[in-house]
Structure 1
């Protein structure tokens, strides 16, 4: 049995195990098992590998998308460009890091906004973690001017305080992407501190959080007549991309039992 899994600090919110378990059952895929592995720090990663020698692939989530890189043999072009890893493939040459968040976000947001995407010139990306890096690169590749937002002025173009003091910045950036975990159940009332009064009906609010279905951040955009989308589709797309990376064109088959 080949083992696939997700590593992160806290995983009780994750959809991955349920998603892949249902995928394997629905598509009659045998020989694979998907499990969640909470590790207290990235230094625990080598021990996890030693304990589970049948690993074939790993997903990486908060807060290890950046910290995992020194433990990998090499990076795919996508991960190199973004500077964050959320997929690990086990190869004969060692562990290789990939980024499927880029693929998931870009395809999701393009499908959602459609032809109106040409009207969006400026975007704000809230947060500076691993997911934000993939979102920034995807939007930049789409020809959109991106400004990063963080509490730390050293990590971003704007701080949340600066946006509160200059609400016109929110008004002129008609695509706003939340890549922070704020608003995730059970803390549904939490949201990034923005001057939401500056939102208009022309705004698109994309939240990488998917539980609840409509986050407090999304509600602010909808209340102003704008459009809002959660991150579930992005998760599904990046998960399927992960599977494609792990499988690499091979047909999944169950290990054959020995006969006597």
Structure 2
């Protein structure tokens, strides 16, 4: 029995466990998928030392902190600065990869149109780094929006009509709106959203967030993060078995 799992904090809602458990059952694979819910990153040492585990996914809030516990990074994960897949090699090495950028890119492509030149990335956590990398590969300029911005980032209070009209793609990388707090949403001026906008939410639970609803009310195209999750999970499985 091969063991795979998800490393994170407060992950009882885990998409990954249901996705892989169903996959293993349907394909009659002798594998199991477990949640490794840890309160702090140092608790990961015992998990990483296990002989049973053959691969891990990593989610909030450890996509950056986990790097210090790995032997090496795939070049893309190194450039992004965040890891969501760990491969356990035959010679007992731990290699970090990032499949988030792949899942995001492939799920975003069908939504793009010629007027999308710039994107706002709401949030600056580990997931946002993969989004930024993906946008660079797509030649879409981007700006981060943060509650505590550095000199290169925007504050939510900076967002005015001119900025919203210029940035036709807006990606929510914050946890605002995640179940059970489904009535929360990022504080942006939705009144300036138009039918030319695409609002992409990395959240998948609920299926339609308040962020998406507010965009749809203004005629925008909206998407949740489910397809991204499916694609990054499939890519993770490829990495573990390569």
For normalisation by structure 1, the TM-score amounts to: 0.90
What is the aligned residue count? 241
Assess, with a 3 A threshold, how the Cα gap between structure 1 residues 156 and 184 changes in structure 2: closer, same or farther. farther
Give the 4+ runs in structure 1 shifted more than 6 A.
none
Taking the TM superposition and a 5 Å limit, the aligned residue runs for 1:68-147 are 68-91=66-89, 92=91, 94-113=93-112, 116=113, 118-147=114-143
Q: Does the 8 A contact of 2:115 with 2:168 survive in 1?
A: no
Displacement, 1:155?
7.4
Question: Counterpart in 2 of 1:258?
Answer: none
Q: Does the 8 A contact of 2:9 with 2:60 survive in 1?
A: yes
Question: Counterpart in 2 of 1:157?
Answer: 153
1:225 matched to 2:219? yes
Displacement, 1:186?
1.1
Larger Rg: 1
Q: Matches of 1:127 and 1:226 in 2, distance apart?
A: 20
Q: Matches of 1:203 and 1:53 in 2, distance apart?
A: 48
1:16 matched to 2:16? yes
Question: Counterpart in 1 of 2:60?
Answer: 62
Assess, with a 3 A threshold, how the Cα gap between structure 1 residues 160 and 141 changes in structure 2: closer, same or farther. same
Q: Matches of 1:35 and 1:176 in 2, distance apart?
A: 33
The alignment partner of 1:28 has SS state of coil
Q: Does the 8 A contact of 1:150 with 1:156 survive in 2?
A: no
Q: Does the 8 A contact of 1:73 with 1:93 survive in 2?
A: no
For normalisation by structure 2, the TM-score amounts to: 0.96
2:210 to 213, 216, 231: 216
Cα distance per residue 1:160-189 (max 9 Å; x no partner): 1211xx232112100000011110111111
Aligned CA RMSD, in angstroms, stands at 1.2
Q: Does the 8 A contact of 1:177 with 1:207 survive in 2?
A: yes
Q: Matches of 1:234 and 1:155 in 2, distance apart?
A: 30
The alignment partner of 1:180 has SS state of coil
Displacement, 1:204?
0.3
Displacement, 1:66?
0.3
